[in-house]
Amino acid sequence: MKSAGKFLPVPMLDLARQYAPLREELMEALAGVLDSRQFILGGAVESFERAGAAQLGVKHGIGCASGTDALWLALAACGIGSGDAVITTPFSFFASVSAILRAGARAVLADIEPGSFNLDPDKVRAMLGSERGAGVKAILPVHLYGQCGHFFPGFGQEHGVTVVEDAAQAWGAEWEGVRSGGLGDAAAFSFYPTKNLSAAGDAGMVTTQNDEIAERVRMLRQHGMRRRYHHDEVGWNARMDGFQGAVLSVKLKYIEGWNEARRAAAARYEALFRATGIAEAGPYPQHGLVLPFEAHGAKHVWHQYVIRAPKRDALREFLTARGIGSEIYYPVPLHLQEALSSLGYKEGDFPEAERAAREVLALPIFPEIREDEQQAVVAAIAEFLS
């Protein structure tokens, strides 16, 4: 699609469209923090914790400094530490594994499903019965791109392991009617500025139904203090600041509508791509595209809309030349990252993750994206494949 003789540019994300109508409400909320002078934790954070937990249907929400801190806090509060092993995916952001290592545990990887990109439960079961899987105390499934991994209900109890959800990309996502954050023993959320529910900086949250886990998270995020200047164990400075609590409290009122707008945008992409005839059944692309899907039992919140494409890198260059944003999440699987070579894996160990890394491409999707922008994206891809 062209506009005034030129290609219609489409941003990967346009936060200005979200912030403009909220400006006065956000400024008022930030002024409230300034007036209260509760810059670290405080009333704004507590208000968000209560409202966020209620929206997710969990007993406890504990705000913290980042999604990465939330992962470590959740693992540590669940008693994961030295001598333990945790199974997670090789196809995720670095923090999924680095948080396990920071907790003092050993990261064990299992391959993904080619369709959902989430951990393959059968591969996890096989790993639990293997020599490398000895000592596994927890599983850390990643709800990648906004869709819950199907480890629920009962997987943890069935296998005698703790389940800690990496729900960084999945605020509001559901599995069989239960929202992310309440599917495992604990969960970690990120509010990085590009997330569906986003702060104006770094921030995160741990959720749990368990009183003891919640109490430990609150203690660990403040240097191991239950009482001021009395340190029961070595924790960390992982507190949410008041400004982020205020911003998130405002945005929380709109997130369900924004998620529904993302779902509508994903449905439009599906219809537009299928109308072009370039969508293929998959799971791997041959000449056209393999589209993402919503698994049976899931409610996808479409943090990312990720296709699988042949000649992915050439396609991305083609889109960039036309001013159309895209991103690769993730170009290098975790087991092939130089910093994680000590895990002892090699190329070929996780073929599904490695193939996904060569084929995935995230297309523009955000609540305010226009239909003509989506048409431009689809038209450009169809032109590339013609």
Q: What is the CATH number of the domain that holds 175?
A: 3.40.640.10
If asked whether residues 218 and 347 sit together in one domain, one would say: no
If asked whether residues 227 and 344 sit together in one domain, one would say: no
Q: Establish if 5 belongs to a structural domain.
A: no
**Is pLDDT above 60 for 4?**
no
Could you give the CA distance from residue 253 to residue 153 in angstroms, rounded to a whole number?
29
Q: What is the mean pLDDT of the chain?
A: 95
Q: Establish if 104 belongs to a structural domain.
A: yes
How far is residue 176 from each of residues 148, 230, 295, 342, measured CA to CA in Å? 10, 43, 10, 37
Q: Establish if 10 belongs to a structural domain.
A: no
- The pLDDT assigned to 152 comes to 62
- The pLDDT assigned to 155 comes to 85
Strand (E) or helix (H) holding 299: strand 298-299
If asked whether residues 144 and 282 sit together in one domain, one would say: no
If asked whether residues 310 and 211 sit together in one domain, one would say: no
- Percentage of the chain exceeding pLDDT 90: 90
- The pLDDT assigned to 3 comes to 40
Q: Establish if 279 belongs to a structural domain.
A: yes
- The pLDDT assigned to 282 comes to 84
If asked whether residues 301 and 160 sit together in one domain, one would say: no
If asked whether residues 228 and 86 sit together in one domain, one would say: yes
CB 205 within 8 A of CB 49: yes
Domain end among 203, 237, 252: 252
**Is pLDDT above 80 for 51?**
yes
CB 137 within 8 A of CB 103: no
- The pLDDT assigned to 2 comes to 40
CATH number, domain containing residue 320: 3.90.1150.10
**Is pLDDT above 90 for 157?**
no
User: What pTM was computed for the model?
Assistant: 0.95
Q: Establish if 8 belongs to a structural domain.
A: no
- The pLDDT assigned to 153 comes to 67
If asked whether residues 287 and 208 sit together in one domain, one would say: no
Domain end among 252, 271, 302: 252
5 or 88: which carries more pLDDT confidence?
88
Match 């450009």 to its residue by tokens: 380
Short-list 173, 94, 158, 152, CA closest to 125: 158
Long-range pairs of 18-22 with CB within 8 A, sequence gap ≥ 24 = 18/258, 18/366, 18/367, 18/368, 22/250, 22/251, 22/254
If asked whether residues 223 and 312 sit together in one domain, one would say: no
If asked whether residues 316 and 180 sit together in one domain, one would say: no
If asked whether residues 242 and 366 sit together in one domain, one would say: no
The count of domains in the chain is: 2
270-326 pLDDT tens trace: 999 999 999 999 899 999 999 999 999 999 999 999 999 999 999 999 999 999 999
53-112 pLDDT tens trace: 999 999 999 999 999 999 999 999 999 999 999 999 999 999 999 999 999 999 999 999
**Is pLDDT above 60 for 196?**
yes
Domain end among 209, 229, 252: 252
Q: Other C-beta atoms within 10 Å of 11: how many? A: 15
Q: Establish if 291 belongs to a structural domain.
A: yes
If asked whether residues 283 and 374 sit together in one domain, one would say: yes
314-367 pLDDT tens trace: 999 999 999 999 999 999 999 999 999 999 999 999 999 999 999 999 999 999
pLDDT band at 8; cut points 50, 70, 90: very high
**Is pLDDT above 70 for 250?**
yes
Short-list 79, 38, 75, 356, CA closest to 188: 75
- The pLDDT assigned to 215 comes to 97
If asked whether residues 271 and 205 sit together in one domain, one would say: no
Read off the pLDDT of each residue in 190-204 and give the average, rounded to a whole number.
98
Q: Establish if 2 belongs to a structural domain.
A: no
**Is pLDDT above 60 for 148?**
yes
Instruction: Give the domain range for residue 302.
Output: 255-385
- Percentage of the chain exceeding pLDDT 70: 98
- The pLDDT assigned to 285 comes to 96
- The pLDDT assigned to 222 comes to 94
